[in-house]
Structures are given as C-alpha cells and as structure tokens.
Amino acid sequence: MPRVLSIAGSDPSGGAGIQADLKSIAAVGGYGMSAITALTAQNTRGVRGVHVPPAEFLAAQLDAISDDITIDAVKIGMLANAEVIAVVADWLRRTAVPIVVLDPVMVATSGDRLLDPEAERALRDLLPLADLITPNLLELAVLANAVAGAEDGARTGDGAGAGDASADAAPTIAPATTWAEAIAQAQAVSAATGARVLAKGGHLPGGDAPDALVHAASATVIEFGGERIATTATHGTGCSLSSAVATLQAELGDWEAAIGEARRWLRESLRQGEALEVGGGHGPVSHFAGLWSRGGLRTAPTPAEIADEWWNGIADVRAAIDDLPFIRALADGTLEREPFLGYLAQDALYLRDYARVLAEASRLAPDAAGQAFWANSAHGSLVGELELHTSWLEGAGGTAGTGVFTAEPDAATTAYLDHLLATGARGDYAVLAAAVLPCFWIYVDLGERLAAGGFGQRALDPGHPYASWLETYADPAFAVATREAIELVTREAAAATPERREAMRRAFRTSSEHELAFFAAPLG
C-alpha cells in the first residue's frame, strides 16, 4: 500500500486541501499522512480567513514523519508564503522521496492571486523538484509567465539571474482559451522545469473536459478525453486529482496509467458529488462513492461470525430434528427395520444426485483448493457412502438382490434434490456451496452427539441393532471434511457482497429445512 504524504492547507469543510487529499489517497488504495501548512476558515462558498503556523513547526512535522515512516510519494498543495515554500524545498532536498506531485495553489477560481510576488518566485524555484505539476489553466498561465520571465532575465544578463526575474511583472501570457494554447503553455513549463505537466482543460468552454500529460524532455503529449460532467460539486477537484495521481503512481509506476485511473475515479466521484448535499456553494466530490456502491457501508463479518450466525439461525430446525421420532427411535434402537431400510433407500437416491451437485460445485469453484475439496467429496459420496448403503440394502434384507436404486424417490427426497440441482443450474458457486453445507454440518453434529451419549447411552451399546450405521455418523474423517467445508463456505461468504451473502444464508437455511423433512419422512 503506497504511503503518501500530503503537504497542504486544511479545509474545515472537508472538500479540499488536506481533508480532500486524505480521502483521495484512501479511496484509491493508499495510506495517507499530512503536514499542515496553513489553517483556513472556509466553506463551500469561499475562504474567510487563513492562519499560517510558524514555518519551523511545519519543518518539525515533516521531519517527524520522514524520521519514522518510509514515504512513497508526496503531494504538495497550498504553500502560503515564501518561508513555508523554503522549508518544503529544503526538506525535499534532504529527503529521498521517489515521487513528488505539485499542485500549485496560486490563483483562486475568481482569478485572484493567492501568493505574493516573493512567494511566487519561491514557488517557481520549487518546480524543478517536482516530478509532476498539476496546475489549472489560470495557474498554468502564471507559471508560463514566470518561466518566460526567468528565461528573459537570463538572456538579457541583467545581473539578477534567472531566479530573481520579476514575478509580479505585467503578464504577457494570458490564460489559455483553447486546448492548443493550454498544451503549448504546458510544454513551456515542462521544458523550463524538467517536470511533467498535467494540463487540465476543465475551465475551457464546450462540452469536453480533456487533460494531457506533457513532458518536454521526451517530446510526448498523452491526451485523456472525456465529456464534461454537469455538476456544481467541484470543490477540491484539483486537490483530489493530484493526490490520487501521486498514490497511483507509487503503486503502478507508470504516469499514463496512474493519471488514467485517477481520472476514472475522479469522474465517478464527481457524478455523485451533488448527492452528498454538502453546503450551499460548490460542494465536494463524493470521494468514496464508488467504494460505497461496490462494497457497501457495513463491515463484512468474519468467517467465524458467519458460521455462528448461520448455525444459530437454524437452531429451531436442529431442535426439531432432535425431536423427530425417527431420530429418537434410531438412537435407542427401537426403530423398526422397514422404515430404516426405507430411509436408506431414499438416502441412496439422494446421494447419487448429491454427488452430481458436489461435482458441479467443483467445476464452479474459483480456486484449486475448492475444486479439489468438492471433487473429493463427490467421490466419497459415490464410493464410500453408497457402498455402505449397498451393504445394508442388499446384504441385510428388505431389498436384497434388487439393487440400490429401485425405490421411487419420495416427496422429501424429490424436493431436496430439486432445490440443490436448481441451485447448481444457476451457476453461482457461493450460493451452491452454502446449499450443500447442511448435509455435512447437520450430519456431523448428530453423529458427534450420538457418539457422546447425547441421545441416551443405548446408542453407545455395541449390541445396538444399528451400531455399524451409527458409527458412520461419528466418522472422524467426515468431521474433518465438514470443518473444511465450513471454512470454505464461510470464507466465501465473508468476501461476498451483503446481497450475495444473504442469498447464501437463505440457501443454507432452505437446505437445513429439507434435512428436517428428509429425516421426518421415514415415519410419515
């Protein structure tokens, strides 16, 4: 995760400055840090006041962070005066920061200059320390004038040097009114500073809002198109874009890819900004709109929490199974042979198609672990469990010599299999896995409690008429497989959206109710 430091002013309304930077960094996958250059009193309608803390305190903030934390990228925003700019420049020269994105906060939307001439000169000297400069069109014109003035001063040899060229001289380069003019100004600034420049066409008239990554050293202009988004929620867009680009560049290592992804994120956030209903002026963008819509607002439960919730959610079904005459008679040995063999015949029919459902779960599983588990479970159902049914049905009377699958499926068996087969046909692995889980979990729970004497000591008697069958309920290997099934399904549920997780829970509950009906059927 990129660790990104924002050096900027504070906006108490939350839409721009440090607050917007930290939201943007987090929204695109970074860990945000901040060093505050100025405190403002502002809202969506405008700035009412600015307080600049001592520059020495800014230096202390910067040193405290870099002395302890590796910084992968820096985004620089509002720098209130020449002294503050000097502190930042000195810190950058002393600190090995791999990525520096400078958003030169110089001109208000109204056109008012935000920096005095001395600060503008200091900022011009800071530009070569940046990897990327992201001015709006008004700021781009100021920078183009500044670098042009510096070049003129150097050519005339006025004795002052390029660094002292007048920053408050009458401007000769006006803000661009066409996209070609914007590109030309960005090329001039890039050539003079060595930095890349992101020219932004949001202030141009028309229905398009293009951007371009300009790099004079490589003679490249990479353009990014896009229709203008009709919205009043534009407060802090420059702050948000630049901090997102810094974060994504630290992750991706490619300026074109970083800017492209940052623009997609910002445009998504712009579209949802007005829905926030923040302020009566130009509101903020909705930095987390995409994350909220795709991931929801509630914290996902852990797999263990899901297991507890689902198991407790079928407590009524499990209690009803415990109270069934079939289960009680099976435990105490009073169950007549005919209903027991009828149960085995239905269970054999069930297992035949249940194995097909498990095979489908294996086919749909997204990873090798899931594929292997469900495939092994399908094999076990066909080979291990059906062999046991065969030995009882064909070797112990009732249907001897007539085959395992001669019985007609009863209503409970048919309904259960219809539910599982239909779930598999829908092709949703997570929901199908949840649907097959009760057949593991409820059987193991019954078997462990039978083996522990939970239904009476008679079930533990070696002379019990169904002793060999009861042993299969408490098979340790099946218990291990069940734990693995629970882990697979609950991990899938924890990673799912709330809607899909609820669909999984419903499938689990429905299968549990079919288990109850299946156990109830032998005795009507």
Which positions are annotated as active-site residues?
200, 234, 236-239
How many residues does the structure list for the chain?
524
Do β-strands 46-51 and 196-200 pair in parallel, antiparallel, or remain unpaired?
A: unpaired
Residue whose token pair is 């079928």 = 314
Rounded (10°) CA dihedral 172, 177, 179, 183: 10
Cα dist. 349→410, 428, 463 in Å?
A: 10, 24, 29
Cα–Cα distance for residue pair 301/307, rounded to 1 Å:
10
SS3 185: helix
Residue whose token pair is 């159902």 = 381
**Element (DSSP H or E) covering residue 37:** strand 31-43
Give the neighbor-by-neighbor strand order of the sheet with 100-102: 46-51, 31-43, 3-10, 73-76, 100-102, 132-133, 196-200, 211-215, 220-224
Tokens representing 515 are: 């288990």
Cα–Cα distance for residue pair 101/447, rounded to 1 Å:
64
Q: What is the DSSP letter of 382?
A: I
CB burial class (10 A; 0-12, 13-18, 19+) of residue 33? buried
Do β-strands 73-76 and 196-200 pair in parallel, antiparallel, or remain unpaired?
A: unpaired
